[in-house]
């Protein structure tokens, strides 16, 4: 096992670790899928804007090309002020949730792990609920609910990590600590909701997730957290391969298991907290995307990590297209759409997860 792990860490002939040439094709396909999803997200809506017109409009915003867009002022505003920020936020959030899910699955060696494993969802939900219930007139402030959700999510994971560290800081104790913290925070959130029943509709609307109010302001706020977190996690993808053989074996290979797990969890947490702060608690993306990649292409995180980022972004953009098209002019919560795909897939994961456990 140790020999296989050494080979996997180097990428030299390990089973399930494709060569650089074989990794290039799936990643290129992922880039094409993301680009196609972005174009679909920009094109589909109440106002019909053709893909060709979108491509010309994009080119017209690139300096020195000399291309001029023929879109009317109204269509141009719809494209760049309404659809583009929504699509951009969807790609960022979806990519981060899938990437965080892949990271947690690698760190905790469990294909059922998702980005909310350590209490991010419960903490963000409590933060948003407190902002809605007690914010009163201030709740209309643009950044109050996302800020409260971000703080709540981050505090939940810090609490789970400190609790898990007291029990040895192993993968199992961290998972148990996350479950404990999530249960406690969910109980507090339920209590607050019962005391402020007039806010239930707003709370549930946030929990189910939505991108309908997305603007460039949201994208500008969330992008730095997600970009930095994504870069760090991608750089640690080799360490995730080593961690997959177990803590003792990974330590024998010279990996600082505790430090590596902390770094990955911290950046996955920061990115996920920023994502859910602006989108709500969108479920299943962190399980569906990385596990589907694992089923098709194997267990190497050198493929799972970058592909999760690409396919997760495209997947959520397409889910958002469905959410705003199925019952138009009304919209479905995007969390309902991801759950529609995620629940059946979760059943498949439950049946196949044993084959991926050590």
Query: pLDDT per residue over 222-280, tens digit each?
Result: 999 999 999 999 999 999 999 888 778 888 888 888 889 889 999 999 999 999 999 99
Ranges assigned E (strand) in 181-328: none
The helix/strand/coil state of 21 is: helix
DSSP 62: S
pLDDT at 136: 60
Model pTM? 0.88
The helix/strand/coil state of 310 is: helix
pLDDT at 139: 45
pLDDT at 169: 65
Closest CA to 28 of 357, 303, 294: 303
Question: What residues contact 29, with CB distance under 8 A and at least 6 apart?
Answer: none
| Number of H-type helices and E-type strands within the chain | 16, 0
pLDDT in tens, 294-323: 888 989 999 999 999 999 999 999 999 999
Domains of the chain: 25-356 (1.10.3470.10)
pLDDT at 196: 87
d(CA 145, CA 138): 10
pLDDT at 337: 92
Q: Return the C-alpha torsion angle 346, 350, 356, 358, nearest 10.
A: 130
With a cut of 70, list the residues of the chain below it in pLDDT: 1-21, 136-143, 167-169, 349-350, 352-358
d(CA 176, CA 160): 9
pLDDT at 13: 41
Please tell me the chain's helix, strand, coil percentages from 3-state DSSP, rounded to the nearest 5.
75, 0, 25
Question: What residues contact 106, with CB distance under 8 A and at least 6 apart?
Answer: 240, 241, 243, 244, 264, 301, 304
Structure token pair of residue 285? 């993306």
pLDDT at 15: 42
Q: Give percent above pLDDT 90 in the chain.
A: 46
């Amino acid at each position: 096992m140790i020999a296989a792990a050494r080979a996997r860490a180097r990428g030299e002939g390990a089973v399930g670790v494709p060569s650089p040439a074989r990794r290039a094709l799936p990643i290129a396909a992922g880039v094409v899928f993301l680009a196609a999803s972005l174009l679909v997200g920009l094109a589909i809506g109440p106002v019909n804007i053709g893909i060709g017109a979108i491509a010309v409009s994009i080119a017209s915003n690139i300096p020195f090309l000399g291309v001029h867009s023929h879109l009317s002022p109204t269509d141009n505003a719809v494209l760049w002020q309404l659809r583009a920020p929504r699509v951009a936020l969807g790609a960022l959030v979806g990519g981060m949730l899938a990437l965080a899910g892949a990271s947690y699955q690698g760190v905790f060696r469990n294909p059922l792990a998702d980005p909310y494993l350590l209490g991010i969802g419960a903490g963000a939900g409590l933060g948003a609920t407190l902002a809605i219930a007690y914010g009163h007139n201030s709740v209309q402030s643009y950044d109050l609910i996302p800020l409260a959700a971000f703080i709540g999510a981050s505090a939940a994971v810090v609490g789970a990590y400190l609790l898990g560290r007291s029990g040895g800081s192993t993968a199992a104790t961290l998972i148990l600590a996350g479950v404990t913290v999530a249960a406690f925070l969910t109980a507090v959130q339920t209590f607050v909701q019962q005391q402020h029943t007039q806010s239930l509709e707003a709370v549930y609307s946030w929990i189910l997730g939505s991108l309908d109010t997305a603007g460039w302001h949201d994208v500008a706020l969330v992008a730095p957290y997600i970009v930095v977190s994504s870069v760090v996690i991608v750089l640690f993808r080799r360490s995730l391969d080593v961690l997959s053989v177990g803590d003792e074996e990974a330590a024998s290979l010279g990996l600082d298991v505790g430090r590596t797990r902390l770094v990955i969890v911290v950046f996955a947490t920061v990115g996920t907290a920023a994502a859910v702060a602006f989108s709500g608690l969108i479920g299943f993306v962190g399980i569906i995307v990385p596990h589907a990649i694992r089923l098709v292409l194997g267990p190497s995180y050198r493929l799972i990590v970058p592909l999760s980022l690409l396919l997760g972004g495209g997947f959520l953009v397409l889910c958002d297209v469905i959410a705003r098209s199925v019952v138009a002019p009304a919209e479905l919560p995007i969390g309902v759409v991801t759950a529609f795909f995620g629940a059946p897939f979760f059943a498949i994961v439950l049946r196949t997860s044993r084959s991926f456990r050590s």
